[in-house]
Amino acid sequence: MKQILKTILIVSILFRFSFSNEFIKFQGNKIWKFINQKGEVVIKTNFDDVRNFKNGLAAFKVNNKWGYMNEKGDIAIEPKFDGAWDFGEYNLAIVKVNKKWGYIDEKGEFVIKPKYYEAWDFADVGLARVQIGGIYQYINKKGEIITTVNFNDGRDFNKYGLAAVKLYNKWGFINEKGEFVIKFKFNNAFNFAKNGLAAVELNGKWGYINKDGEFVIKPKFEHAYDFGENGLAGIKINGKFGFINKAGKIVIAANFDSFYGFIENNLTSVKIDNEWGYIDKKGEFVIEPKFDSAYSFSKNGLARVRTFGKWGYLNEKNEIAIEPKFDFASEFTKNSLATVLIDNKCGFINKNGDFAIEPKFDNCYDFYNGLAKVLLNKKWGYIDEKGEFVIKPKFDGVFNFGDDNLAIVTIKNKVGFINKKGEFVIEPKFNEAFPFAKNGLAAVEIDNKWGFIDKQGKFVIEPKFDATFGFFQNGKLALVKINKKWGYINTKGEFVIKPRFNLASNFTKNGLAAVEIDNKWGYINEKDDTVIEPKFDGALDFAEDGLAIVKSNDKFGYISKNGEIIIKIQFDNAENFTNNGLAKVKLYGKWGYINEKGEFAIEPKFDEAYSFRSNGLAKVKLYGKWGYINEKGEFVNKTPK
C-alpha cells in the first residue's frame, strides 16, 4: 500500500477549477471547458494546459508549445512559443522562444523581440523589469532601455512612480525616466506604499523615507514592514513586535513575540508570553492571549485556535464559536464541514460546531468528489455528506475516486477497481495499480511484472516490465524498466526512447526528465534530445518554480531549465521551494530556510526541519524538542529550551 500511495501521489489526477471574467474554467476527464454564468459550456478543448481569459485571450499549451485562443475557442495566435504568460494591462504578453523572453501584441507579432533571460509585466507606469545575464534593466513599451546603468537587483515599478534598485550592494530609487532620485545608500529597500513611505534599512536599522529620500521615520527598528490599509506598520524593537502610525509614533507597544498582519476585520493575532490572542488596531486585546496556537480567520468567518491541547474555533464577532474540545480540527472545506478528532474517534462538524456526522470512525479524511474515506473496525469504506455509508467498510485499503468515478481498493492483499456503487469494475487480482491515465490505460502489476489495462480490465500492453510509474498526465509516454534499464514507451507499448538509463524520472511540465547514464545525471526532452548534459551526481525533477535540485561532490544547489546554476551548489541537503518562496536546506549539519535568491531567510540552526505548509508554519527540532516556526523564523508555540 505504501508503494501504491507513493506512485499515486506522482500521477494523481487533480480537479482544477478557476474563474476568469465571466467564464469559469474547469477540467474534468482531462478535457478543459469554459462555462458561462448560466452554466452553459461555451468552449471545450483537449489542450494539455489552459490559462484563464484576460483581455479576451487565453494561453493554451499543446505539444509543448504555447499559443492563444479567443473567447469563441478559436486559435487566435498559433502555438509556437516555448512559454507564455497572460496579456497584461497594455495588451502585451510575455512569451519565450529559444530560451529568451520577449513581448507580443494581440496579433501574435513581436513588439519587443525575445532577448531577455527573464521578463516581467509592464507596471501601471508603462515600464517593465527585464534581466539580461546577471543584470537588471527597465524598458518601455517600445523595448527601449530607460537608463544606461546596469543594476544588480531591482523591484517592479508600482503605481506610486518609483522603483527600488540595487547597485554595488546598495539600494536606491529611480523614477520613470530612469533618473536617480534617491541616492544608493541603503542596505535594503522596499517600494513606496500607498501612504508615500518606503521601508529602508541603513546600517542595520530600519526606518521610513519619503519620495525626497528624507527620513520621515528615523532608522531605529530591527525590522520594518509595509504600511497596511489601516495606516499601521509592524516594526521590531529589542526582539519584540509592535505597530507604528505614519508619524512614526508607536501606537501599539512592541510587546509581542510574533504577529500576523491585520486582516479584513482589522484584527491580528499576536503572541505574548508564549500565548496567542487577537488585538484590534488600537492594540487592545479583543481576545485575550490564552491560546497555544491561533490562526487567521478564513473565508467562512472562523479561525482555528488551540488551548490546553484542545482545538476549537473563533467567529468574527471575536467569540468562541466552537468550544476547544477536539484533539484535532481541520479547516472547513468547500462543503462547510471540518474533520475533527475527539476521544480517538473521527467525525465531521458544521460551522455551528454541531456534529453533522457523529465521531464514530477510527480514521477519516476530508470529502473528495462527494465522498469521504473512513475506517471502522479495521476496514475502509466511503460515506456521503449525510454520514451514511455509500460503500460499506470492507476493504483493507482505499483511495479517492478519480474523475472517471473509479477508485483503487485493496482486499486480501489484491488490488482492483470499484465504481461509486462499490461494485468491482475490475476484479482484485493485481499486486499494485495506478489510476487510469488520460489515455484510458492503467499500469498494474501481476506475477511481478507490470503491464497496462483498459477500463474493461483487459491487457492492452502485456505485463513484461520490471517497474513503471504509469503514463504521464498527457497520456503519451510511460516510463518503464526492463532488463535493469529505464526507457519510455507509447500507448502501443513501443519504445519511443530506448531503455538505456540506470535511473530516470517522469517528464515534468517543462518537458524535461532527469536521467542517469554512466553514473551521471542530466536532462532529456521527449524527443530524446539531451538538453542538459549528464554531469551531476544527482538530479531531481524540475519544480513548478522552474528550478531543479542537483547534486555535485556531495553538495546540493539549484539550476534553471537551461542548466544554469541559479543557487550555488553548497548545501549538505536541499528541498524544493514552497509557495511562500522558502526552501529547506542543510548546511554544516543544521537546517535553515533560504529565499529564491539563495539567501538565508532563516539561519541554519535546527537539528531537524520540515518544509513550510500552507498555513505558514514549519515544524522544526531545536535542543531535542519540536516546535513550530512562522516565516520569520519565530516560534509560534513555546520556544524549545
Is 473 part of any domain?
A: no
pLDDT at 5 over 90: no
pLDDT digit string (tens) for 505-552? 888 888 999 999 999 999 999 999 999 999 999 999 999 889 999 999
The band of 370, judged by pLDDT with boundaries at 50, 70 and 90, is confident
pLDDT digit string (tens) for 576-625? 999 889 999 999 889 999 999 899 999 999 989 999 987 788 889 888 78
SS3 at position 347:
strand
Whether residue 239 contacts residue 222, with contact meaning beta carbons closer than 8 Å, is answered with yes
Is 527 part of any domain?
A: no
CA angle 423/425/426 to nearest 5° reads 125
pLDDT at 264 over 60: no
pLDDT at 641 over 60: no
pLDDT at 28 over 50: no
pLDDT at 17 over 50: no
Distance (Å, whole) CA 586 – CA 591: 4
Is 481 part of any domain?
A: no
Averaged pLDDT for residues 300-309: 84
* Beta-sheet pairing, 520-524 with 135-139: unpaired
Q: Kindly list the distances between the CA atom of residue 470 and the CA atoms of 230, 406, 434, 436, 490, in Å, as whole numbers in the listed order.
A: 52, 17, 7, 9, 11
pLDDT digit string (tens) for 44-101? 777 888 888 888 899 999 888 999 998 888 899 999 999 999 898 788 999 999 989 9
SS3 at position 8:
helix
Whether residue 618 contacts residue 610, with contact meaning beta carbons closer than 8 Å, is answered with yes
R_g of the chain computed on alpha carbons: 27
Averaged pLDDT for residues 32-42: 60
Q: Where would I find the beta strands (DSSP E) of 362-406?
A: 363-364, 372-376, 379-383, 389-395, 397-398
Residue 178 CA to its chain's centroid (Å): 34
Distance (Å, whole) CA 604 – CA 620: 11
pLDDT at 154 over 50: yes
* Cell matching residue 407: 477508485
pLDDT at 20 over 70: no
Is 459 part of any domain?
A: no
Is 99 part of any domain?
A: yes
> How many domains does the chain contain in total?
1
Averaged pLDDT for residues 204-227: 92
Q: Across 117-126, 372-381, 464-473, which has the greatest mean pLDDT?
A: 372-381
Distance (Å, whole) CA 436 – CA 454: 8
Distance (Å, whole) CA 15 – CA 30: 9
Q: Give the range of the structural domain holding residue 16, as residue numbers without chain letter.
A: 1-112
pLDDT at 228 over 50: yes
DSSP state of 332: P
pLDDT at 297 over 80: no
The band of 23, judged by pLDDT with boundaries at 50, 70 and 90, is low
pLDDT at 405 over 80: yes
pLDDT digit string (tens) for 280-295? 888 888 888 888 887 7
Distance (Å, whole) CA 390 – CA 600: 50
φ, ψ dihedrals at 51, nearest 5°: -105, 175
The band of 21, judged by pLDDT with boundaries at 50, 70 and 90, is very low
Decide which of 255 and 453 is more confident.
Answer: 453
pLDDT value at position 90? 85
Is 96 part of any domain?
A: yes
Is 25 part of any domain?
A: yes
Whether residue 251 contacts residue 287, with contact meaning beta carbons closer than 8 Å, is answered with no
Distance (Å, whole) CA 96 – CA 67: 11
Is 240 part of any domain?
A: no
244 membership: H or E segment, kind and range: strand 240-244
Percent of the chain with pLDDT over 70: 92
